[in-house]
Chain A
């Protein structure tokens, strides 16, 4: 189990992260989600011991470490880098055995063969790295990371170099592997779809802080702030006056949101008149840009599967089911 307590880090006196706390149980996949440069990878690097100076404690199993020089030997961590960090001058076998250099030759060979078998790359044993596909390279990187039987697996944007189909397959394979081996896995990404589909829990980082850490489904359904809502799903912010007009109460520090696919537009009358500013065909759906005419000309985006009788510059009406509206912190 990994436990991060009050973790913080600064670079050149600039605070990057502060007061980050979360746990990852064995067999659990936690994804850290946030915009580029928010400090997600820095957390992974600190857990791995690559970033030595930080605040707070990182506990791996029963051992807690603060800012001191402890690498994998004490931490039992496997790390999959975004670029896989496979050494180009070594073949598959040599890349994996690089991690096992302390073992005797016989033991090393045995362990490499086990890993090649386990990760289904036996046929590529003596191939050079550039001769492998993206997916095969990733398997080699994972085999190397797993060589010393780590309890924790850290994955930095592991699917970013794979095409769509391979990404899908690898995700399932990796999820199974983590569960089978009962690893505590922490994954870093900025892709919300990837995060939602693979994670048991998600942590969202914004403005140096972990602003929500929860079960993936719960978080999607109940985001605790406008940032999380915007990050995980596409939402519209509803004007406070509209909320009051439909009989709901809202405080000054709150905001009412609705997912863009939960708004319906038609010529049937309602209390919310809109003007259609633009209609874009997006393949499986249409995206409509609207202006709420009676509510300070607020702009909204709506996703709709049909646009029957609707044209650009038409006036129409928006229909919202009250139960779909969520009131959250600003």
Chain B
């Protein structure tokens, strides 16, 4: 088919170049020079970064599999006490950002934490007299990350076990195998690709994390990037670390894709029917309840109750004019970014629909890669990219306007990170619009603009709304990218929460944290309502 170069295609091409520029620059840092500090960094801290990142990856992988797969297996195949509640309840840890859970656990379980002192008081003992697990450690970070991130494994495994594997499991049951034999010989092997897919997402999130690691004082690539950038003021070395981390993440994605390609076990049936659940009674039902209650309790209920309590005793001190400014800044940043990202995503996906060629879909795929790059890496890439741009603008136009450290830089960062979410929404939306609608409009001699406005826009409004809400929530929660790129003294709710914890005001940090969670919850309710209406 002949390719007609249209304005929309040229725009997509330029935008792709722009959006991928930070990642390309970071990638180039793998091969180009470094500052004098790099040698010192390499000899002292690089090994720690690599070791800690690997340790976190392995730890999070094991624990998220344990929590996520066990709960998915139990809720997919069995009915037991509160199993219907756990169906949704086990997803709730997603509602609280990892760094907020870390702040809460830190406040509860550190040496002077509320729970620690409470237990020591009851036991009437000193800290030196008891075995104490220090939450403010790498193991503590792994535990907290796993408690919040296990829903990735839970959701993917549950979908797979409940639907796609139903016929395989039911076939296994006809051979009179015991539940344990079915689990070992059938369910575990066939679920492996789903487990790996979920674990990869959790692990990627863990290695890209800043808030938890910074608060728990764990040295990882991301905290390293911050230290090099803020402490040493070296963009080059931060970029070099970012380039290693990015390679790490891409390697992970490639490995996951390879295993998925080779080992996807799919039911031979075309239409998936849900699996028939077995009823558990007595002790078995109790044990299944406990297995699901533990991750739900520690991943959501306990931190949420603690947060509510701290909020109730501190909100009057924190909610003042400054706080309202921060809230306003967070909301306006999220609304403007979500609007822009939704519009850009529509442009990319419409370009693919209109041209239906390889170039257009490749451009979209490139842009979507941004989501897998950690926020800190994107931020350093943008800093490097804008410093080049700023220099060019100053040299050429003698202008004093610089983009670095402005809102533009942050919004650009969000575009790089979150366009993929929005594109996925529109892709799903467009896939539900038959190609014959486009053809019908063409035959009726209705122009592209009219077709776009009268047909596509109304049919895509739910996708656009979903995209807006999901990006909005992501931006509200975002921490590392905003930290690095924000203008001087420009706070958002996550930054305020982090700063309060850094000033040992853990209880007070519950206020911005609670607002983040509430805004997220309200948004999710709006999204769910909209989805119901659409259905």
Contacts and interface: CB of A to CB of B under 8 A. Distances in A.
Interface in A79-129: 79, 81-83, 85, 87-90, 98-99, 101-102
Nearest to A73: B445
Nearest to B442: A71
Contact of A81 (B439, B445, B446): B439
A85 B446 contact: no
Nearest to A75: B443
A89 B445 contact: no
Contact of A148 (B439, B441, B444, B458): B444
A72 B436 contact: no
A147 B443 CA distance: 12
A72 B445 contact: yes
B450 A101 contact: yes
Given A87-B455, A89-B459, A48 B2 contact: no
A312 to B, nearest CB: 34
Question: Which of B1, B434, B439 has the most chain A CB atoms inside 10 A of its CB?
Answer: B439
B120 interface: no
Contacts of A87: 437, 455, 459
A144 B446 CA distance: 13
A50 B439 contact: yes
A326 interface: no
B451 to A, nearest CB: 9
Contacts of A85: 434, 436-437, 439-440
A203 interface: no
Contacts, number: 58
Interface in A49-63: 49-50, 52-53
B454 interface: yes
A58 B434 CA distance: 27
Nearest to A144: B444
Contact of A79 (B434, B443, B454, B458): B443
A258 B440 CA distance: 44
B446 A79 contact: no
B5 to A, nearest CB: 14
Nearest to B458: A89
Interface of B: 1-2, 434, 436-437, 439-446, 450, 454-455, 458-459
Closest 5 CB pairs of A and B: A85-B436, A85-B440, A99-B444, A81-B436, A89-B458
28 contacts: A45-B439, A50-B442, A50-B443, A53-B1, A71-B443, A72-B442, A72-B444, A73-B445, A77-B443, A81-B436, A81-B440, A85-B436, A85-B439, A88-B459, A89-B459, A90-B454, A98-B441, A98-B446, A99-B444, A99-B446, A101-B446, A102-B445, A144-B440, A144-B444, A145-B443, A147-B444, A148-B444, A148-B445
